[in-house]
Every structure is written in structure tokens, then in C-alpha cells.
Structure 1
Amino acid sequence: MTIVPVLMAAIAPGIALLSYFYLKDKYETEPIHLVAKMFLLGMLLVLPAMVIQHGVGYEFGNGNFVLSFVSSAGLEESLKWFVLVQLIYRHASFDEPYDGIVYATAVSLGFATLENVFYAFLGLPSFAALLYRAFLPVSGHALFGVMMGYYLGKAKFKPEKAGLYLTLSLALPIVWHGVFDYILLLSNWIWLMVPLMGYLWIRSLGRISRANDRSPLRALGSEEEIKA
């Protein structure tokens, strides 16, 4: 496979999934430049993550649990969460619960996309390998982003429980990401991965629907329809 087709195949899944989640915003789509910024920031997180992961492996070893829950899930989700809390959580454009999902999936898919490019060029790319990465690691990052963004949205719009929801927005993606990676290290991973991905997709679609239903812009839209 030549460079351009490999690069396009590595990038396409992340862009396609981001477009899907972006267009799921029923009431007011987010500024495209801000979503693109979060995507690029997600890409930039890959390099510090790789450096820190190397240090974690040197210090604590590379056992399956450490690789899955500490080096991968714990570190990667913490970096994404930190960026979102610092740059997006109080941003004026974050004005409805679903926006948390848009921005979190943007950061997550930016990370997954550059990671995918590295794997494509450092490994031995084939159509089967790129398809595997599109359906599993890239999709997995997107679904962990939905989880994170859903609870960030709840934290912002239910300030009385903000502490709880902020904690869940970090803890749940770490747990599920860790489970995902741990399964991939098992010899019979396919039998556990298929039901896991099905469950995560179903839960994510439910969160998308609930986040949209809680939008304060929904009532405004209904009033405008009645007046019309």
C-alpha cells in the first residue's frame, strides 16, 4: 500500500465518526473551528502520552493490568479529561448537555486518529489491519468520549451534583477503556469484544438521546414551532 491511501485509510474512520457525532446535535451545532481545535489538541496529546507511558512501563513494568488500566486507559483518559475541563467546560459555546459529547468525542477521535496513523506507518499496514483498527481502537476511543462528554454535560447543567458527575466523567471512561484494552490482550479476545462493543454502542446511543432531550434549546424550539 502506498503512502497516500494508507494515510487516508488511517484518518478516515476518525473523521467519519466525528462527523456522525457532530451531526447528532439536534438543536444547535457547535462552532466547527472549536470542534476542529479539540480534534487537533487530541492529536497533540499522543506524543506526551507516549513519553509518559514509556516512563510508566519502566517504573511499574508491562503487565496486562498496568498496560490496560494505567499506561493506556488511566493516562490517556486523564489527559483528554484535563484538556476538556480546562478549555471547554466553562466555554460559552458549551450551552447544552450534548455539547459535552461533541467536544469529548472530538478530543478522543483526534487522539485515536494520530495513534492510528502511527500504527499504520510503523507497522505493516494491510486492509484487514486498518479495518480492525477502525472498528475497535478508533471506535472504542469515540465511545469512551461519549461517556466522558455525557457526564461533563450533566456536571455543567446540574451544578448541585457537579462533583459527582465530574468524577464519573473521568472514572467511567478509565474503567471501560481499561476493560477494553485488557480484553484485547487475551487469547480469546474476540468472544468478549463483540458483546462489549455492542453494549457500549447501545449505551452510547442512549446517552446521545438523553443528552439531546435535556437540551434547554429544545423548549425554545417547541415554542417557535407553536408560534409558527
Structure 2
Amino acid sequence: MKIKILILAISPIVAFLFWIYLKDKYDKEPIHILIKYFVLGILTSVLGIIVERFLIKINILDGMNLIIYTSFIVAGLTEESLKALMLIPNLLKEKYCNEKLDCIIYSVFLSLGFATVENLIYILSESNELVLQVSLSRAIISIPAHIMFAITMGYYVGKYKFEENKFKRREYLIMSILVPILLHGIFDFILIIKFRWSIMVFIFYIIFLWKINLDKLDKYMEISKVRFLRYIKHRQRK
């Protein structure tokens, strides 16, 4: 039974890893470097668990204040800031990160490493009666949400890394951390609040996340394509 549960927890992660890997069509990143960022995500998740447990332990809030605290501080701020602290310094010195799309690819690999630990904890601690339901809901909602936050972070890190204007660089750096925190916090807030209207708002919010982030991904994929075609033309002229 444990093997089946493990497969339920890991299989959506593997599927999304292949999905994002295939998005990098023209200048693929080395597998061992991608694995490195996936492992960094696992380590970040372990650290996140420690910080989140501490924040929950010291909490003195209740009611709506508790929901806001849990959504934006315990979840959003902790998880996304830790991801950023692990991702950004490594990407700035990563020699294989030579175009904006790479920042999204590495960001998603790190985030899926993070989601792997989280998924295992949720699914392995669930009862046998609910394990399939929980694993499916996480595969459809929670794991893709981590990917969307990662695309946002990678998108702005890409702008930061390859921007020469120091004032814009500062702006992009702030946005690479702040925007994922806000998106993550709103996601958890709507999920936790459980008002009558919240399910409809949550569905629209999920659609919104997919739309804006897949547009960001497509934008950088197109830039990668143009860059690759220019490289081919340059080689042909020699």
C-alpha cells in the first residue's frame, strides 16, 4: 500500500518535470544542473517546514487575523522567500543560465523539489479512505500552483539577471520576491476562508494564475526561439 501511495505522490511531480523540461526546446539545460535545483528545492522545503512550525507555534491570533497570518506569513512569505533566497544567488552565478527562459526552468525545478516533500507529507499522513482524493486534488491544484508561483519568480529573476539599468534591476528583484508571495498568500487565503462565494472566486483565481503565467512562459519561449534562430543564421554565415 505504501508503494501505491508513494506513486500517487511522486507521479504528478515527474509529469510536470517532463512538461517544463520539454518547454525548453532550443537550448536545453544540463540534466545534472536541473537535478541540482530540484534537490535545492527539497532542502528548501525541509527548512520551510521548520520555519512554518515555529511560526504556527508562536501564533497568538485567531479568526480572520489567523487566516491572514497563515495565508500570507506562514505560507506565502515563508515558502516564497526561502525559494527566492535559494534560487536567486545560485542563478546569478549559474553559467548555464544564459537566457531568460532558463530562469523559469530552474525556478520550476526548484519549486517542484519543494512540492515533492510537501506532497509526500500530506499524502503519507492521510487516511487510506481519503488518500486518493487528496493526491488528486494536490495534483490538480496545489502542485500546479507551486509551478505558477515559480514561473512568476523565474520571469522576474530573468528580467533582473539580464537587465543593465540598475534601477530597473532593483524593481525586478523586488517583484521576483514580492509578487510570488502575494500570489501564494491570496491562493491560500481563498482556499482557507471557505465562504459561500469562495469556491467560485478560487476557480477564477486559478484560471487567472494559469493565464498570466503561461503567457509569461510563452513570451520567454518565443525570445528563446528568436535567439536560437539568430545563432543558427550566424553559424551559417561563417
Do they superpose with TM above 0.5?
A: yes
2:182 pairs with one of 175, 181, 203? 175
- The structural deviation recorded for 1:193 is 1.6
Cα distance in 1 for residues equivalent to 2:29 and 2:108? 13
2:106 pairs with one of 92, 95, 103? 103
Is the aligned partner of 1:194 residue 2:194?
no
Count of residues in Structure 1 that have an aligned counterpart in Structure 2: 227
Cα distance in 1 for residues equivalent to 2:217 and 2:2? 36
Note the 1:5-154 alignment, pairs <5 A: 5-61=4-60, 63-124=66-127, 125-154=130-159
Is the aligned partner of 1:207 residue 2:210?
no
- More deviation in 11-20 or 209-218? 209-218
Please give the TM-score of this superposition, normalised by the length of structure 1. 0.93
- The structural deviation recorded for 1:60 is 3.3
Q: Quick check: 2:71–2:188 contact (8 Å CA) kept in 1? A: yes
- The structural deviation recorded for 1:84 is 0.9
Structure 1 runs, 4 residues or longer, greater than 6 Å off: none
Give CA deviations for 1:65-93 in whole Å, capped at 9, x if unaligned. Answer: 11000010101001110111122222111
Give CA deviations for 1:12-47 in whole Å, capped at 9, x if unaligned. Answer: 112211221121113201111111111111112222
- The structural deviation recorded for 1:225 is 8.9
- More deviation in 117-126 or 133-142? 117-126
Helix, strand or coil at the partner of 1:104? helix
Residue identity in the other structure for 1:194:
I
Please give the TM-score of this superposition, normalised by the length of structure 2. 0.89
- The structural deviation recorded for 1:166 is 1.0
- The structural deviation recorded for 1:224 is 5.7
Is the aligned partner of 1:223 residue 2:230?
no
Helix, strand or coil at the partner of 2:58? helix
- The structural deviation recorded for 1:142 is 0.6
Residue identity in the other structure for 2:171:
L
Cα distance in 2 for residues equivalent to 1:118 and 1:159? 42
Helix, strand or coil at the partner of 2:9? helix
Cα distance in 2 for residues equivalent to 1:190 and 1:17? 25
- The structural deviation recorded for 1:131 is 0.6
Structure with the greater alpha carbon radius of gyration: 2
Give CA deviations for 1:137-181 in whole Å, capped at 9, x if unaligned. Answer: 111001100000011111111131211111111111000000000
- The structural deviation recorded for 1:108 is 0.8
Q: Quick check: 2:44–2:86 contact (8 Å CA) kept in 1? A: no
Is the aligned partner of 1:155 residue 2:165?
no
Q: Which runs of 5+ in 2 are unaligned?
A: none
